[in-house]
Chains A and B, each alone.
Chain A
Amino acid sequence: MSAPRPRIETVAYDTLTVRLFEAIDEAHMPWILAADAALRERFDEALIDLVPSYTTLMLHYDALRLGQAEARAMIVEALADLAPASDREGRHHVIPVWYDESVGPELVTIAERLGVEPADVIRRHCERDYCAFALGFAPGYAFMGLVEEALATPRLSTPRQRVPAGSVGIAERQTAIYPMRSPGGWNILGRTAVTLFDRSRDEASLFRPGDRVRFEAIDRDTFVEQGGDPTPMEAS
């Protein structure tokens, strides 16, 4: 893939969006990560926030130090000789998941739709590495993908009022884990005991944009041993 031509867009008086791509593709992430590193280095103390997401990076700079023209020039300069980050750049996580109808009701509905056993859905969800394209919705919530086309499932028409922490879900070709109990409309397949956002941890969030994640099926006993809460979905 040749180097993308960045487009710099005004989004607020102190914020620019750098648009690198037009479509979602895991092959874009090394470029996004490289741009992330280059912009962090170039802006340094004048950087307030930098938010990579799928095809863009939103750059919030300190407007008391920099004008917008200056900030644009710095972006152009920082991205002049962009080369994709290596595959090893992002960290790799293995997330143990207890896949079960009691904590993941849509495991069965997806299996039925495909005319396969739930075990087959589990195997296919665990089969590939997913890329964390962006974090949002809640602290530590990573939008990951892409799941196999056949598993793609639209969001629930009526979102649940309460999705328990650790719930693993699918929406379209994306997969995610709810870091804390919250409302949500994703199709839930199972639950993990892994804490995704831990205030006592150095960076709090387990995932960062660009990380790679693979799911691994475990049984109920292992899940409980790992500290998981097996309370069924409807009672949560």
Chain B
Amino acid sequence: MGADESINQGEPMAAQEKGATLIVRDAGALALVQDGGRFGVRHLGVTQGGAVDWVSLGWANWLLGNAVDAAGIEITLGGFVVEVQTSTTLALAGGELGATLDGEPVPPHTRFRVDAGQTLAFGQATSGLRAYLALPGGVAATPFMGSTSSVIRECLGGLDGEGRALAVDDVIVAAGREPAGEARVIETPPRFTEETVDLEMVPGAQIAQFDGASVFATFNERWEVDARADRMGVRLIGQALRNGAGGMISEGIPLGAVQVPPDGQPIVLLNDRQTVGGYPRLGALTPLACARLGQCPPGTQLRLVPVSPHRTRRQMQAQFARWR
């Protein structure tokens, strides 16, 4: 995250006229324009935003030869339907949401042709939670503070800059008409089917404020994804954790922060989190673990696994190397 300097800058109106176009016919549960996120503005109270599963957005973009953090469509749970206005090539990655093109299944992690008049429809999630649709050159939209990511709560980003979710009759315009590069195939596409998902967490300094039994429980108990989960945060259900910190003075909160409010049930803070907060934290999930959590529906069983910043850095470098 923040790795690629070439955050999608949108395109001028003249370029939009020749970009491939899709029209929204059904908004589904939630579909949002998202890129790599908004950075350099956290001190003004502006949140990060961006694709929750940034790895899948990266793969969808990679399939088309786009910058991996170019703006795409984040489709949560399914039900989203678009009609193709211009024949072009699209790419799909992320969760399996039963995508079909004129009724024929479109597997995730592929790049595929679409012709004018065809309908691309998403059904229900069968594995994972979020699918990412990439368009040639990314979605054309005017960036605000360096990003087109939609944050509904902040009324920022998206097609009209007001942060709203995609709605019926919205016109999605690509920055380009056709992909930049040759067809590509993902050798080992991510799967979202494990029975228990391991999520790596970098322990933070404040873990020292939790009692020993709670630290042990953090890494040895199972955690379950609660239904109270959205782009701001995901609540985990399990053994109550205790700490002696009491009320803390608010400070900045990083992506993936695992905060523990007084009820002892951790909350993992994701892309649309508030920028400062005052609950004690166990640490922060790695960006790769945040992306994986973004594909975990309520009820998913989790384990938290400690990892060092150094090892995480190597994993992140390896992920970006796959996209070269």
Q: Report if B309 contacts A (CB, 8 A).
A: yes
Q: B275 at interface (Cβ–Cβ under 8 A)?
A: yes
CA distance A55 to B253 in the complex (A): 14
Residues of A within 8 A of B (CB): 9-15, 17, 23-24, 47-58, 60, 62-64, 67-68, 134-143, 180, 182, 199, 203-205, 208-209
How far apart sit A52 and B252, CA to CA, in the bound complex (Å)?
Answer: 7
Contacts of A141 in B (CB 8 A): 45
Shortest Cβ-Cβ A-B pairs, 4 listed: A58-B252, A51-B252, A136-B276, A9-B205
Would you call B284 an interface residue if the criterion is a C-beta within 8 Å of the partner chain's C-beta atoms? Answer: yes
Whether A137 and B43, one on each chain, are in contact in the complex, defined by CB atoms closer than 8 angstroms, is no
Q: Which residues of A contact B293 (CB under 8 A)?
A: none
Tell yes or no: B281 within 8 A of A by CB.
Answer: yes
CB distance from B250 to the nearest CB of A (A): 6
B265 interface hit (Cβ, 8 Å):
no
Checking B45, B252, B274, B313 against A13 with a beta-carbon cut-off of 8 angstroms, the contacting residue is B313
Q: How far is the CA of A15 from the CA of B255 in the complex (A)?
A: 9
| Chain B: CB-nearest residue to A142 | B45
Most buried by B among A47, A55, A63, A208: A63
Verify if B117 is at the interface (C-beta below 8 Å from A): no
Please, which residues of chain A bring their CB within 8 A of the CB of B155? 180
Subset of 10 A-B contacts with CB under 8 Å: A14-B287, A24-B249, A48-B39, A52-B43, A57-B252, A64-B3, A136-B250, A138-B153, A139-B156, A204-B145
**Interface residues of B, Cβ cutoff 8 Å to A:** 2-3, 39-47, 144-145, 153-156, 161, 202-206, 249-257, 274-277, 281, 283-284, 286-287, 307, 309-310, 312-313, 316-317, 320
Chain B residues with CB under 8 A of A134: 250, 276
Please, how many angstroms separate the alpha-carbon atoms of A24 and B249 in the complex?
8
Q: Is the CB of B44 within 8 A of A135?
A: yes
Pairwise interchain contact B310-A12, C-beta atoms closer than 8 A: no
Could you tell me the distance in whole angstroms from the C-beta of B149 to the nearest C-beta in chain A?
A: 13
Whether B254 pairs with A139 at a CB distance below 8 angstroms is no
User: Are the C-beta atoms of B252 and A56 separated by less than 8 Å?
Assistant: yes
A50, B43: Cβ atoms closer than 8 Å? yes
B256 and A12 contact, CB distance less than 8 A: yes
Would you call A199 and B44 a contact (CB within 8 A)?
Answer: no
Name the A residues within 8 Å of B309 (CB-CB).
10, 12-14, 63, 67-68
Contacting residues, chain A, for B206 (C-beta < 8 A) = 9, 11
Q: What distance in Å separates the Cβ of B148 from its nearest Cβ neighbour in chain A?
A: 13
In the complex the two chains form, what is the Cα distance from A58 to B44 in whole Å?
13
CA separation between A204 and B257, bound complex, in Å? 27
Minimum CB–CB distance from B75 to chain A (whole Å) comes to 26
* Given known contacts A135-B45, A137-B45, A139-B156, A12 and B275 CB-to-CB distance under 8 angstroms: no
Specify which of A13, A17, A54, A136 is in contact with B275 (CB 8 Å cutoff).
A136
CA A182 – CA B257 in complex, angstroms? 24
Give CA–CA (A53, B2) in the complex, Å. Answer: 22
Query: Which of B153, B253, B275, B316 has the most chain A CB atoms closer than 10 A to its own CB?
Result: B275
**A12 B204 Cβ-Cβ under 8 A:** yes
A85 to B187 CA separation, bound complex (whole angstroms): 54
A12 touches B316 (CB 8 A): no
**Complex CA distance for A63 and B42, rounded to whole angstroms:** 17
Bound: A134/B283 CA distance, A: 22
**Is there an interface contact between B254 and A60, defined as CB atoms closer than 8 Å?**
yes
In the complex, what distance in Å separates the CA atom of A204 from the CA atom of B205?
A: 34
Contact assessment for A64 and B44 in the assembled complex, using a CB-CB cutoff below 8 Å: no
- Whether B274 lies near A136 (C-beta < 8 A) is yes
Complex: A42 Cα to B231 Cα, angstroms: 33
Most buried by B among A52, A137, A139: A139
Q: Give A68 Cβ to nearest chain B Cβ, in Å.
A: 4
Not counting A11-B281, A139-B44, A203-B44, a sample of 9 additional A-B residue pairs whose C-beta atoms are within 8 angstroms of each other reads A10-B309, A12-B286, A51-B252, A60-B42, A64-B313, A64-B316, A135-B275, A136-B277, A205-B46
